[in-house]
Structure 1
């Protein structure tokens, strides 16, 4: 069992220097701890913490109203997840964000794409049941039976199955459903409200940059670049800020400006095959391709900030077919999306491309009954690819 130190979460401390005026200085002045030690504790990078320092931090938190005495020191520690579903289930607050499309003939209404609701349903099932394993854990230690005694002779009870306390949904306009200013403003509002919320939390964005603009904002945040700014004109593909690139289909009407999508990998490379491209360790780019009959790709990208208990996740298929297939993968093969491919400075990053090859089946145009079957290959993005972008 691994624990993380959640001082940053209790303080609602952001790693952005522009958003943390005086936090470290205030702690140092009150506790007498040195700046380097406080910085390490805020980043969850400290190897150990002396009891005297822990006591001083508890006094600071109580004095400034960040926690009650009865919550401490327990509130400063949190159990870290050990698998994909636990990563989600241990968040106290989960927000699912979906893109919507409007109908000109029904101005008061809007729709969520059917495949996104299927993926959302699989996520909800996995979170609530720990991917189907919760029942086995409950059978192993039925609550509230004590499982052991501590050194004081007190009974310790088995920890409950982790469950979110707050689970809700937000909707944003898909690109092209309103003018860019309105689309971007709504996406920014959702993203900023998520960051402003106190405590342990997760934002799960369903879809791709074609359907959900918050995906664009989250990707840009993870890889330190500007959203809605095309990188199709970089000198070479390795100069792209995001190691995942969505190559649009020619027939797509909407080609939103994006840091992670377009029609060119660089000034000199214009791949024609639609799909998700990804960089490999040697700097070359490969394609998880899409076509009408046989191939379908999907992606999963998440960044987990241990010290803040903050998770941002984006996932979806290249098309609705891919999104449905990804829902099945979450159900049957979640272990292939764990552990995160890269960890740095208290941030764990998971980045995966999934290539599906569909098996031959009778053509079925019914959105209500189509159940695709495909061979599945989950491809983790190489850690070196992430490292080059995080550290330059």
Structure 2
């Protein structure tokens, strides 16, 4: 265990990197996938089950937790780690994205955002200073700057204004965060799909100085091709000796493509949300367990997978409990999906260390292209 926050780059293969982020609550092996625990829980999972999938860190959500049960209450109860029974590191987002996408009647000013809660209509204000205070009350290990994230496509003038506002907010976030040994503050690069605006944003963030840097404003509707085009240059605009976090990504092939381009950390609701809707990610692509073809199939979802859904249950059973609306369906499929995502990460970490990332990536795509096993 360490008393400070640090990042140690172990190996590179092309732009792909593997390393270790050290925090007082434990190490995070990179590239890392962070399951999303929006409201202090990864839906349908026990915290110890999430740890069993191989996750080193979880993501918590400032916007949702400030509205319910409230950051002050969580602080009184001993902080988010104790509250949700997760002893490993937690990253909290700043709330900016959710305010933009979920809140009603929001009003944006230089100071921050005022909005009405999507839960009960109550009025709230979120500023860089308030976001830092909430994340301090939650006790998260990695704190994100408060920023604004416009949806894409958007016109250049809008993206430029938004990025510059986010950079002013980043400076205020840095000041409000203060000196908190063992806790880290990450800046967020914005600039849409514009390379020069991304560079301006990266320069501004470097000038302020952060413990890590996120590539923000992607996975917001621009499509994979456009996202990868930005990732071809954006990570290299950020400091080489700090972790790089791509927010809100993604599908397995998005994750592999992002790591190939120099990203160290990612998060996404996809594995858990898909699990609850009967979608399983396997090495041979996506399986819809609701389809009738699985009703009599005694085989596992993925015979090479060691998760409980695959090692103890048949496709026929998983099909049945999904159709019957049983809670165990979402639990088993979420566990499987999170296990598979962590398997991808560990495969990439090993491949980068061995200098064999290209070969690993080729095998990954070839296996997925085969599609699901033939029906019986």
Same fold, TM-score > 0.5, yes or no: no
TM-score normalised per structure 2: 0.28
Q: Which has the higher strand share?
A: 1
TM-score normalised per structure 1: 0.27
